[in-house]
Amino acid sequence: MNQNIYFNRAKYLFIDMDGTLIDTDDANNEAYKSAALIVTGKEMLNCNHRITSDSVFELYPVDVADSIILKKNEIYADFLYLTKVNNELVKLILKCGKKSFLVSNCNRERGEMTLKYHNLDSMMDRNMFYSGDKYNKSIRDLNINPKEIFVFENEIVQAHNAIMAGVNENSIYVFNN
């Protein structure tokens, strides 16, 4: 069955933030690189992908990694100008009239700051930030049927998590980055 049919039948939209609603890779990476330079006095190596806290812990001892992550969070706002909104997705969300929920694993403070920067902080019915299994947790918190959800996601692993939470695999649109 065509994905448009599943979208039209859905009552709820779940939208991921990083890489889906907003491309944050450049801001994230530059903030981490700057934080590493401030903390260690040296440039961060192996930066050919999205830098995550996990990758920082792979590159540095725990105490240094902790300091880099703290510093990254302190200076992230300086790099918001590097973030880019997925305007086509925003238009679709606003046009369709469905209940829309931001469902993200990003740090709440960073997520809210990024949404506010782009004037998207009140676009959704609710902005939900989780650590861990965001789809199971949001479905439980909202007490809704996963078969009534259409998901916009950019990570295959997270799309699989949505399927494991009960969302129909045809009700998930995965953006190619």
pLDDT tens-place string over residues 116-147: 999 999 999 999 999 989 999 999 999 999 99
User: Residue 177: is its pLDDT beyond 80?
Assistant: no
Distances (CA, A) of 27 to 51, 118, 152: 10, 14, 21
pLDDT digit string (tens) for 69-123?
999 999 999 999 999 999 999 999 999 999 999 999 998 999 999 999 999 999 9
* Mean pLDDT for the stretch of residues 51-67: 93
| Strand-pair category, 84-85 with 22-23 | antiparallel
Q: How far apart are CA 46 and CA 73, in angstroms?
A: 20
Q: What is the 3-state secondary structure (H, E, C) of the chain?
A: CCHHHHHHHCCEEEECCECCCEECHHHHHHHHHHHHHHHHCCCCCCCCCCCCHHHHHHHCCHHHHHHHHHHHHHHHHHHHHHCEECHHHHHHHHHHCCEEEEEECCCHHHHHHHHHHCCCCCCCCEEEECCCCHHHHHHHHHCCCHHHEEEEECCHHHHHHHHHCCCCHHHEEECCC
pLDDT of residue 132: 87
pLDDT digit string (tens) for 143-157?
999 999 999 999 999
pLDDT class for 5, splitting at 50, 70, 90? confident
pLDDT of residue 8: 86
pLDDT of residue 158: 95
Domain 3-24+83-174: what homologous superfamily?
HAD superfamily/HAD-like (3.40.50.1000)
| Strand-pair category, 12-15 with 126-129 | unpaired
